[in-house]
């Protein structure tokens, strides 16, 4: 059996779709399972042993990020097959690469394509694969209802609930009933943890991860409050805080460190395997609704989430002991990147509220 999964991005959304790959592997242990992914998030799938191959779709002049090029990977508009670890990776860029993408997908003769994204773009990719069965969500559950036209089968799912369970419900079309929330992730790269402990020996006794960044301005809790939280965590629990940062977030991390009174330090620069290693080693992560939070939660790291315009019941941490401090119920800008009021609702969350949640989570 050959199965194609289509979830192009973003990082947290791909994490939320990983239990689908795990459930497929458990039910069909000898199936070939491939995944179509945006180049910006391709490195994440290197950490997922449940899949066999990944098809990386890159924008023109864009190279896959996070894990370096695989041997034989292409330049601008080319395509090449090459190993990444022990699995195949094929990379296609926009423009001329589209036709090659379709030809390559059809050569694989997939029996089933599952669109886990619900956009016209992802639905077109699933249909263009030539799979006999193209399965997606029913129209009421799609982000772009027009995508439904490209499916041969549409699956209704329960309203409400977590997006992980919504994704798993798509498998009912393949005879897979209730499936567990299993996140098949590798161990990660521990070298950033070793470097951090060398530079900050106090972290060897335990540390908290703080993640102040987010792609949406509306999801960012103020950095000075992260700094104040780090000072409280150090005083109450004796734990230093490592501040995560990505490209362009160096100043943001530095502001958190400056506001912490010496209780926080910037985490080492990491790629995704290193981020996973840090998450597996941390006592706790505190973050807004963004990829590092979801990756850490999938790795089993205890979490305290800080939510503004997005629904924690749908997108938040799923472990029963994890905690979320949210202003979603009073937010006027649900699922918008920018606040329409001038002051994001997430900024109404005070340090003491998050500190109490941290106390509770560290106690469990």
What is the per-residue pLDDT across 87-115, written as a single tens digit (0 to 9) for each?
566 656 545 478 888 988 999 999 999 99
pLDDT bracket for residue 72 (50, 70, 90): very low
- For the ranges 35-49, 66-80, 304-318, the lowest mean pLDDT is seen at 66-80
pLDDT number for residue 84: 37
β-sheet bridge partners, residue 81: 90
Q: Mean pLDDT throughout 234-243?
A: 98
Section 182-203 average pLDDT: 96
pLDDT value for 60: 55
* Predicted pLDDT of residue 340: 80
| For the chain, percent of residues with pLDDT exceeding 70 | 90
CA pair distance 84, 91, nearest whole angstrom: 12
H runs (alpha helix) in 147-220: 163-169, 191-199
Residue 155 · residue 172 · CB < 8 Å: yes
**How far, in Å, are 159, 295, 330 from residue 186 at the CA level?**
32, 12, 38
pLDDT interval class at 162 (50, 70, 90): very high
* Mean pLDDT computed over every residue of the chain: 89
Beta strand extents in 157-257 (DSSP E only): 208-211, 241-243
Lowest mean pLDDT among 86-90, 138-142, 217-221: 86-90
Contact 10, 17 (CB under 8 A): no
Cβ burial, residue 96 (10 Å; 0-12/13-18/19+): middle
pLDDT greater than 50 at residue 117: yes
Over range 257-266, report the average pLDDT.
98
pLDDT for 305 beyond 90? yes
Of residues 245 and 343, more confidently modeled? 245
Q: What's the whole-model pTM score?
A: 0.89
| 214 has pLDDT over 90 | yes
pLDDT for 70 equals 28
In sequence order, which residues have a C-beta less than 8 Å from that of residue 99 and are 6 or more positions away?
A: none
Sheet holding 241-243, edge to edge: 264-266, 241-243, 208-211, 284-287, 303-307, 323-326
Per-residue confidence (pLDDT) for residue 64, from 0 to 100: 41
Predicted local confidence at residue 287, as pLDDT:
98
Q: Report the phi/psi class of residue 278: left, alpha or beta, with left for phi > 0 and alpha for psi in -120 to 50.
A: alpha
Confidence check: pLDDT of 76 > 80: no
Nearest-CA neighbor of 62 among 46, 44, 41?
A: 41
Bond from prior residue into 10 cis (ω within 30 degrees of 0): yes
Q: How confident is the model at residue 66 (pLDDT cuts 50, 70, 90)?
A: very low
| CA distance linking residue 241 with residue 207, whole number of Å | 6
**Of 185, 123, 177, which Cα lies nearest the Cα of 150?**
123
pLDDT in the model for residue 331: 87
Cα 310 from chain centroid? Answer: 15
Residue 44 has pLDDT above 70, yes or no: yes
pLDDT at 132: 97
What pLDDT score was predicted for residue 337? 78
């Amino acid at each position: 059996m050959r199965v194609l999964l289509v979830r192009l991005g973003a990082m947290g959304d791909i994490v939320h779709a990983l239990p689908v790959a795990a459930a497929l592997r458990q039910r069909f242990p000898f199936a070939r399972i491939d995944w179509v992914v945006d180049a910006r998030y391709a490195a994440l799938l290197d950490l997922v042993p449940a899949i066999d191959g990944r098809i990386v779709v890159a924008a023109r002049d864009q190279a896959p990020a996070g894990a370096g090029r695989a041997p034989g990977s292409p330049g601008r508009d080319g395509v090449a097959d090459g190993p990444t670890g022990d699995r195949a990776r094929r990379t296609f860029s926009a423009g001329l690469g589209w036709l090659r993408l379709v030809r390559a997908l059809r050569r694989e003769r997939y029996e089933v394509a599952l669109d886990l994204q619900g956009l016209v773009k992802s639905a077109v990719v699933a249909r263009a694969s030539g799979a006999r069965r193209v399965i997606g969500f029913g129209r009421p559950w799609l982000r772009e209802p027009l995508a439904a036209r490209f499916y041969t089968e549409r699956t209704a799912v329960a309203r409400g609930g977590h997006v992980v369970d919504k994704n798993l419900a798509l498998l009912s079309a393949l005879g897979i009933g209730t499936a567990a929330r299993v996140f098949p992730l590798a161990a990660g790269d521990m070298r950033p943890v070793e470097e951090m402990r060398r530079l900050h020996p106090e972290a060897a006794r335990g540390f908290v991860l703080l993640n102040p960044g987010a792609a949406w301005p509306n999801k960012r809790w103020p950095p000075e409050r992260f700094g104040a939280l780090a000072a409280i965590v150090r005083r109450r629990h004796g734990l230093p805080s490592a501040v995560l940062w990505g490209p362009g977030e160096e100043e943001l991390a530095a502001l958190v460190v400056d506001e912490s009174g010496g209780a926080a330090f910037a985490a080492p620069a990491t790629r995704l395997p290193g981020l996973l290693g840090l998450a597996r080693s941390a006592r706790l992560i505190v973050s807004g609704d963004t990829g590092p939070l979801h990756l850490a939660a999938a790795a089993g790291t205890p979490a305290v989430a800080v939510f503004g315009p997005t629904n924690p019941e749908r997108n938040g941490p799923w472990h029963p002991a994890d905690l979320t401090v949210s202003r979603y119920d009073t937010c006027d800008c649900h699922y918008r990147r920018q606040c329409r009021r001038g002051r994001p609702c997430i900024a109404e969350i005070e340090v003491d509220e998050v500190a109490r949640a941290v106390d509770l989570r560290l106690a469990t």
